[in-house]
Amino acid sequence: MRFVHDTLPQRVRFASGAAAEELAAEVATLGAQRVMVIAGTAEAEPAARVTAGLPVVHRHDDVAMHVPVEVARRARAAAVEREADALVSVGGGSTTGLAKAVALTTGLPIVAVPTTYAGSEATAVWGLTENAVKTTGSDPKVLPRAIVYDAALTLGLPVTLSVASGLNALAHCVDSLWAPRTDPLNQALAVEGARALRTGLPLVAAEPDALEGREKALYGAYLSAAAFASAGSGLHHKICHVLGGMFNLPHAQTHAVVLPHVLAFNAPGVPDAERRLAASLDAPTATEGLARLYDELKAPRSLRELGMPADGIIEAAQAVLAAAPAGNPRPVTLDAITGLVRLAWEGAEPR
Per-residue model confidence as pLDDT tens digits over 58-101: 999 999 999 999 999 999 999 999 999 999 999 999 999 999 99
What residues does each domain of the chain span?
11-154, 159-346
Report the Cα–Cα distance between both ends of the chain, in Å, rounded.
33
How far is CA 304 from each of CA 93, 137, 285, rounded to the nearest angstrom? 23, 28, 28
Q: Which CATH code for domain 11-154?
A: 3.40.50.1970
pLDDT at position 134, please? 87
* pTM value surpassing 0.85: yes
Which residues neighbour 2 within 8 Å (Cβ) at sequence distance 6 or greater?
none
CA distance 193 to 66: 25
**304-351 tens-digit pLDDT:** 999 999 999 999 999 999 999 988 999 999 999 999 999 999 999 998
- Kindly state the average pLDDT of the residues 190-203: 98
How many CB atoms sit inside 10 A of residue 45's CB? 11
- Positive or negative, the CA dihedral 185, 153, 83, 69 is positive
Domain 159-346 in this protein, CATH class: mainly alpha
Is-same-fold flag (11-154; 159-346)?
Answer: no
Q: Which residues pair with 112 in a beta bridge?
A: 89, 147
Q: Are 327 and 244 in contact (CB under 8 A)?
A: no
CA distance 284 to 341: 26
Provide the 3-class DSSP secondary structure of residue 202. helix
